[in-house]
Amino acid sequence: MEILITAGPTWAQIDKVRILTNRFTGKTGLYLANKLTAAGHKVTLIVNPYSLGKVAGIKSYYFHYFDQFKDKITDLLKNNKFDAVVHMAAVSDYLPKFKGEGKIPSGKKDFDISLVPAPKIIKIIRKLAKESILIQFKLEVEEKGIIDKAYESLKKNDSDYVVANALESLEEGYQAQLIDKQKNIIRINSKDDLAKEINNLLAL
């Protein structure tokens, strides 16, 4: 199958020097890309390489900033057909309302940043890849209520599957729950489990 995987954080630019970002690296996305490639799929990876460096052995496209990611994935989906999209990128939910043109001087007594909601990348993916299997990822801080929150996100985004993670559980190693449109749940206890279960879905 032709598979597109997104991975890594999308930086939100404050000025030419400073950014807002998150703690995620794209390593799980790269791991999945390698496993699915080894399983015989044709994988394209779009990733922030900041924590990974350049990727070898997989067709890869790179971004750092939110706008770069948005433009690249839009271009890829407009000009290519993918059987499945695995949307793992840790996408910014908010962006600075204004960006400094150079470097905002240090030494200010106060430095307020106004944030506005970012465009929903998953909505763009579903609009441009209507026939693709769409697997999204949903992160929460704690396990409590995560199934319902993830399932609501799946329905809202018209995804086929959602992988739900909680930060409190990830501290103990990779753990997740894979949920389908019927709210069936598969427990995942490692990155290897994740790769196997997603490969199983793609083989259906």
For residue 172, pLDDT over 90 is answered with: no
Quote the CA–CA distance of 179 and 145 in Å, as a whole number. Answer: 14
pLDDT in tens, 122-160: 999 999 999 999 999 999 989 899 999 999 999 999 999
Domain count along the chain: 1
Residue 110 within any structural domain of the chain: no
β-pairing verdict for 84-87 and 176-180? unpaired
This prediction has a pTM of 0.94
Residue 109 within any structural domain of the chain: no
Q: Domain of residue 167: give its range.
A: 2-103+115-202
Element (H, E) at 19: strand 19-20
pLDDT in tens, 37-63: 999 999 999 999 988 888 989 999 999
Residue 56 within any structural domain of the chain: yes
SS3 label, residue 100: coil
Quote the CA–CA distance of 186 and 199 in Å, as a whole number. Answer: 14
Residue 129 within any structural domain of the chain: yes
Residue 78 within any structural domain of the chain: yes
Residue 172 within any structural domain of the chain: yes
Nearest to 124 by CA among 69, 182, 176: 69
Q: Indicate the DSSP class of residue 181.
A: T
How many whole angstroms from its chain centre is CA 118?
Answer: 14
Q: Indicate the DSSP class of residue 142.
A: S
Task: Check which CATH number belongs to the domain holding 137 and give it.
Answer: 3.40.50.10300
